[in-house]
Amino acid sequence: NQPVEFVIAGPDYESVQAWSEEIVERAKENPNLLNVDTDFELTRPELKVNIDRDRAADLDITIEDVGLTLQTMLASRQVTTYLDRGREYDVIIQADDADRATPGDMEQIFLRPRAGGELIPLKALVSVEEIGANPDLRRIDRLPAVVVSASLAEGYDLGSALTYLNNLAVDNLPPEARLSYKGLSQEFQDSSAAIYLTFGLAFIIVFLVLAAQFESWIHPLIIMLSVPLAVTGALIALAWSGISLNIYSQIGIIMLLGLMAKNGILIVEFANQLRDKGYEVKEAILEGASLRFRPVLMTTISTVFGAVPLVIATGAGAESRAAIGMVILGGLIFATTLTLFIIPVLYNLLARFAKSSNAVEQELERLAAGPSGGSSSAAVP
């Protein structure tokens, strides 16, 4: 099967065939789409019988009479049943095989007018035309459908191809045309739609776990705001390397979410510890970022070097490993470089709205120390 399978459906096969031919002609103008074709092939010979309705009416022969005669002589028709020794048998009438072997045999078929009279040869009422027909009349979602298929040129991804075909269909087909996908194209559409839900759920789960860890909504927000930087870096790396946003690169993006959260945790957690010791917000984050610079850099470098074998892999399955590796490589390098500056800025702006974990304990100690000192001095005569 070719990677591109674009389905065009409509009210009837004639319309669908015309629409698909128009899309194929326009799609061939795109040099990145190769072997563009449809599955609608007129390879089965058929005889098309055209009835002269006016002449049939003049001879007192109805369209129903013509159709019933053709069915009886060329196909078969059950007319009755009979019983023999307790068993029932169908009585089927049909012309002999030798009398229905060629189109010329239809000239030997006669009909009788409803008012009676002489037999009328069928050839006086109809004309026979040899045509080609599609041996497989496909239906998708109960509608007549034609599949436009194509392969991709090197460096041209499936998502771009489907977007191109969809735009062609929207611009050139009437509103009654129905568009869908099959095979690898359908799998790609499903996975692309699912990535938003998957990424959203992963983001929410990580955020809630961090909120439980820090007992705050502000600190997880500071950490998670670095995630868009990682995704941006991953997309830039994919575009630079020519790798599509497939299921493997999507898995890499989910992994990247956790890796970037780890870097933010290292900085924010240490800054919170310094605030517990009495540091101001700005002093705490500057000290925390400078002291955690080396651990963040070490973990990032080790992860990046771990992704290098995935990027340069060869052999079977290399494309899937390269997609994951390129996402991790590009996302970590891009996001870590900016995170070392973005997180301190965000912390300085937002952390002042969140108290440190020991703030309540320190406030209680301060309140307890104040009255005790005042009461002792008042007791001296």
The answer on pLDDT for 376 being more than 60 is no
Residue corresponding to tokens 């912390």: 347
Q: Where are the domains of the chain?
A: 4-43+137-181, 45-133, 187-366
For 168-191, b/e burial (b = at least 16 CB within 10 A) is: bbeeebeeebbebbbeebeebeee
Using pLDDT thresholds of 50, 70 and 90, give the confidence band for residue 271. confident
Cβ atoms 253, 191 nearer than 8 A: no
φ, ψ of residue 297 in degrees (nearest 5): -65, -40
Q: What is the pLDDT of residue 357?
A: 57
User: How does pLDDT run across 161-219, given as a tens digit for each residue?
Assistant: 888 999 988 888 888 888 888 888 888 887 777 777 878 888 888 889 888 888 888 88
Of 2-16, 60-74, 342-356, give the lowest mean pLDDT range.
342-356
User: How does pLDDT run across 153-174, given as a tens digit for each residue?
Assistant: 887 878 888 889 999 888 888 8
Q: Bigger pLDDT: 133 or 237?
A: 237
Q: Which fold, 4-43+137-181?
A: Alpha-Beta Plaits (3.30.70)
What CATH number is given for 187-366 in this structure?
1.20.1640.10
Q: Which fold, 45-133?
A: 3.30.2090
Average pLDDT, the chain: 81
User: How does pLDDT run across 321-350, given as a tens digit for each residue?
Assistant: 888 888 888 888 888 888 888 888 888 888
- pTM equals 0.56
The answer on pLDDT for 358 being more than 70 is no
